[in-house]
Amino acid sequence: MERTQMEWYQQEHQQTLDTLQSTETGLSSLEAQNRLAQYGLNKLADEEKISRLQILLHQFKSPLIYILLIAALVTLLLKEYIDSGVILAVVLLNAVIGYLQEFKAEESVRALKNLLVAKARVIRDGHEQEIPGTDLVPGDIVLLASGSRVPADLRLLHDIELRIDEAMLTGESLPADKTTAVLAETGLPPADQTNMAFMGTAVVNGRARGVVVATGARTILGTIAGEVRSIGQLKAPIQHKIEQFAHTIGLLVLGAAGLLFMIGLLLGETVKTMFMVAVAAAVATIPEGLPIVVTIAMAVGVARMAKHNAIIRKLPAVETLGSTTVICSDKTGTLTRNEMTVTNLYDGRQQYQISGTGYEPEGQVLLNGTAVTAASIPELALLQRIGLLCNESDVYEEEGRYKVDGDPTEGALITAAMKAGLQPELEKEQYGQLAMIPFESERGYMATLHQAGEQRLILLKGAPEQVLEMCATSPQQLAEITRVATAFAAQGMRVLAFAWKEAAPDQDALGHHDTASGLTFAGLQGMIDPPRPEAIEAIEGCKKAGIRVVMITGDHAVTAQAIGRQLGIIEQDDAVLTGRELEAMDDDALFEKVRSVSVFARVAPDHKLRITRQLIRHGQVVAMTGDGVNDAPALKAAHIGVAMGITGTDVAKEASDMVLTDDNFASIFSAVREGRIVFDNLRKVTFFLLPTGIASIISIIITMIMGMPIPYLPAQLLWINLVTNGLQDVAMAFEPGEKGILKRPPRNPLEGIMSRLLIQRTVLVGMVIALGVAWNYTTALQEGNTLENARTVAVTTMVFFQFFQAWNSRSEYDSIFRINPLGNPFLFYSMIAAVLAQLAFIYAPPLQWVFRTVPLTATEWVRVLAVAASVLVVVELDKWLRRRSA
């Protein structure tokens, strides 16, 4: 009995019923009960709940965390309780923040279940009845009416003016006109299966009767739910980079600590002393602040993005967006307004343009660039009047926003007439409607009969080819009208033709015979779902930032191509790939196509997922935007899913990593900037933290090789770690973005946290600090000072080296002297706090006793500051040389 979803539309009515072992009078209650036992309830499978304990344990699955836990254990055994406490506090704080973020992420599939209607009208036991939607089975005869949701996938058997809003499933911006006729083509996507109705879509007009062909997980909606469930969470690039970085740092630190331990033993130090020094040096070198700074930097990014109408649901998405190389975007409602707008008119003599977008009656009718009104041009007035009166919809204002009650196309016609100066209420009063022929897709037109004073008029609108057959036109007129209509359509517009005729003074009814001939052509109106102006600007910005924008839509290829050109996504002659063409390709062929094709039209849900996966296969960092149910699998499969907050379905939002509260593609561009700032700041923190640890180990090795005592006590190493990394690393997370951050190309996805430049500079700075500390330390000893004095000099030199290194870290290329010192107030004040803490370390008696320090003389202070400032000179010189060679 089962058929694939792609075959039912090819079946004749009776063949479908026979296959499903059903009849026009429906199933019996007993048969329905048997089938319910066979097929199960008409709902999506319940998803397993995630264990809170699993989420909590997941927060500790990081090599850097493992190293910190080992360091905490070792320092605890060595009775360094304060340091153990600090390390454990960092680990636990990081775990709590990560746990709360992950626990808040709701399951995508649960939202899909909310789309199921509670009740369905069916024919069972030969009569109409209402049953729970979950009890529907294949073979049930379902009745649809305007305003209802489709409760299962149906093959339509009978319909009356049925139109269904399928935007949430197919991406089509206009309601789909449905038919019951057999479709012979193979491989049609859902958007082209006009004799099918799919679960979760909404009936906006008409009535119908259909037979259930699929329920629950077997429906198109159920297939999407299955895909969403089967797609594992894709690790964000930053998560990969942090893990790789942690592995590398862990190995280097353990290797360096082991080397230090062995050298000390070879030079005659005791095992206990060297073990303590090696552990202290390892703790000082490990950037234990990095996990929490990563979290804080992302949290700062979240707050900044929220100001740009971008709500982050998962923290790693902040950085991921900043590293994005391709943004795949749905068209309807994302790049366009999802509001039909008349943009071009033709009154039989002249062409006009109309400014303004959406349903707000703000804009002008332009003739050769000059504003005109209906009052000044009779032909224009007639054309606009027909569009206004031959109409079943209304445009109204609600909460400062204009909306349409009815068909979006008809709403666009009303708005266009208002822009021309016509007043709907006054026009309806002067041209009272007496009768109407509703729009029928088979006939392709709508007509109304009006009383205008003593005169009665028939007004008509419809498809140009249909309307022109009813009009009396000369061959020359017909050729010109056809030329204009074709030109409008080539721009991706939906084109309607308008006509009229006088009726008999006593005519009060209207039939198809009244409109069959003798009409006078009044003109054409071309409309389109217009691009958002800010989206055009944002796409241009994406190009400058080296980010490619790909449009994936359910709309027709001509419309998609026209919108793609207007948005600047493609050039005039660039190819558009359709769902049918894509269906015929295997993954390898599609892999090649996604290199060059930037507009995909008439796609099915699984196509969007395939496109996303092939882009990822190319090594691209992919952001996928969308608002419909059809977007959910691709949103989840992409590195970052971006859902629309206003028009987006719950499914799309809950499958996403980020939600745009204003549905504005331009907000993504703002969020990209914040994402890049986050990654920049992570690099700055890393460059700030590593050199001191490297310098600690190198300076110890240098002095031991020189036959001198170790320049720091273990407690002093831990102090250096505390005072230099306590606040400044966190403060780095608040650095504002550098100039030109959006003019850079996206960084290489294969590049780690540390770029080659920063690795080179880290080694350079580490050596400068190590040599500077060793020089000041040995100088102090050579001058006959005590070991306590020399060690105080060494520690203070190290602390002030890191003070100047904090300034160096604020930019990879720009001179620190061109950066506002108060541009990051948190960093400025944290550095002042570090200086005050170091003064207490030197001069406060309790701290002198704990850390074995002594006061420094003015001469020693001058030497400390002069040597420490050398790192600023060296890095400034390095930046200058790199700027020159760039």
d(CA 303, CA 746): 23
Q: How many residues does the chain have?
A: 886
pLDDT at site 190: 85
3-class state of residue 836 by DSSP: helix
What dihedral do alpha carbons 22, 25, 27, 30 form, nearest 10°? -140
- SS3 of 326, please? strand
- Cβ of 257: how many Cβ atoms within 10 Å? 22
Distance of CA 451 to the CA centre of its chain: 53
* pLDDT of res. 71: 66
Main-chain phi, psi angles of 453, to 5 degrees: 65, -120
Residue 71 tokens read as 């360091």
Q: Are strands 494-503 and 127-132 parallel, antiparallel or unpaired?
A: unpaired
CA quadruple 474, 478, 479, 480: dihedral, nearest 10: 100
* 414 touches 394 (CB < 8 A): yes
Q: Are 383 and 372 in contact (CB under 8 A)?
A: no
Residue 305: predicted pLDDT: 83
CA distance 74 to 297: 29
Q: How large is the angle between the packed helices 290-307 and 237-266, nearest 10 degrees? A: 160
**What ranges make up the beta strands (E) of 696-837?**
none
Beta-carbon neighbour count of residue 247 at 10 Å? 14
**CA atoms 589, 592, 595, 596: torsion sign:** negative
Predicted local confidence at residue 7, as pLDDT: 80
Q: Which of 332, 263, 798, 393 is nearest to 559 (CA)?
A: 332
Burial class (CB in 10 A: 0-12, 13-18, 19+), 132: middle
Q: How does pLDDT run across 546-580, given as a tens digit for each residue?
A: 999 999 887 888 888 888 999 999 987 788 999 88
Handedness of CA 232, 233, 236, 241 (dihedral sign): negative
Tokens found for residue 614: 């092939």
User: What value does the CA radius of gyration of the chain take, rounded to a whole number of Å?
Assistant: 36
What span, in angstroms and rounded, lies between the C-alpha atoms of 371 and 365?
6
Q: What is the 3-state secondary structure (H, E, C) of 493-518?
A: CEEEEEEEEEECCCCCCCCHHHHCCC
DSSP class of residue 747?
A: P
The per-residue pLDDT for 109 is: 35
Give per-10-residue mean pLDDT for the chain (886 aa).
Answer: 63 92 93 93 67 70 66 71 67 66 43 50 90 92 85 92 80 79 86 89 86 90 71 56 71 81 84 73 66 72 81 75 87 80 96 93 94 95 97 88 87 96 95 90 87 94 94 94 93 93 93 93 94 88 92 85 91 88 93 94 83 93 79 83 75 78 81 86 85 84 86 79 74 85 78 82 94 96 94 96 92 89 90 92 91 93 96 94 83
Q: Which of 629, 609, 583, 603 is nearest to 190 (CA)?
A: 603
Instruction: Give the pLDDT confidence score for residue 37 in this predicted structure.
Output: 94
Going by C-alpha positions, the residue among 862, 853, 868 that lies closest to residue 802 is 868
* Pairing outcome for strands 310-312 and 658-660: antiparallel
User: Shortest CA distance to 257 belongs to which of 286, 276, 273, 279?
Assistant: 279
Q: Which two tokens stand for residue 41?
A: 């309830």
> In 3D, which of 519, 517, 523 has the Cα closest to residue 502?
519
How large is the greatest C-alpha to C-alpha distance in the chain, in angstroms?
A: 123
pLDDT at site 287: 67
Distance from C-alpha of 175 to C-alpha of 204, rounded to nearest angstrom:
8
Residue 89 CB-half CA count within 13 A: 7
For residue 815, give the DSSP letter. Answer: -
Number of Cβ within a 10 Å radius of residue 628: 29
* C-alpha dist (Å) from residue 396 to 18, 340, 383: 48, 15, 22
Distance of CA 310 to the CA centre of its chain: 9
CA–CA distance, 372 with 13 (Å, rounded to integer): 53
3 state SS for 120-181: EEEEECCEEEEEEHHHCCCCCEEEEECCCECCCEEEEEEEEEEEEECHHHHCCCCCEECCCC
Q: What Cα–Cα distance (Å) separates residue 174 from each residue in 242, 381, 410, 556, 861?
A: 46, 27, 11, 11, 76
Sign of the dihedral defined by the CA atoms of residues 651, 654, 658, 659, in that order: positive
- In 3D space, the residue among 710, 731, 717 whose CA is nearest the CA of residue 803 turns out to be 731
Stretch (H or E) spanning 396: strand 394-398
DSSP 3-state assignment of 420?
Answer: coil
Cα 753 to the chain's mean position, in Å?
A: 23
- In 3D space, the residue among 687, 622, 685, 633 whose CA is nearest the CA of residue 656 turns out to be 633
Question: Measured between alpha carbons, how far is 784 from 799 in angstroms, rounded to an integer?
Answer: 23
Complete DSSP assignment for 93-116? HHHHHHHHHHHH---HHHHHHTTS
Q: Are 585 and 593 in contact (CB under 8 A)?
A: yes
Other beta carbons within 10 Å of 26: 23
d(CA 786, CA 781): 7
Scanning the structure block, which residue is given the tokens 């496109």? 611
Positions annotated as catalytic residues are 330
Q: What is the pLDDT of residue 108?
A: 35
Distance CA 401, CA 550 (A): 30
Geometric angle at alpha carbon 222, from 39 and 11, rounded to 5° = 70
Helix axes 81-104, 63-77, angle to 10 degrees: 150
**Hey, which residues does 404 pair with through a beta bridge?**
395
Give the count of beta carbons closer than 10 Å to the beta carbon of residue 498: 29
CB proximity list for 504: less than 8 A, separation 6 or greater: 456
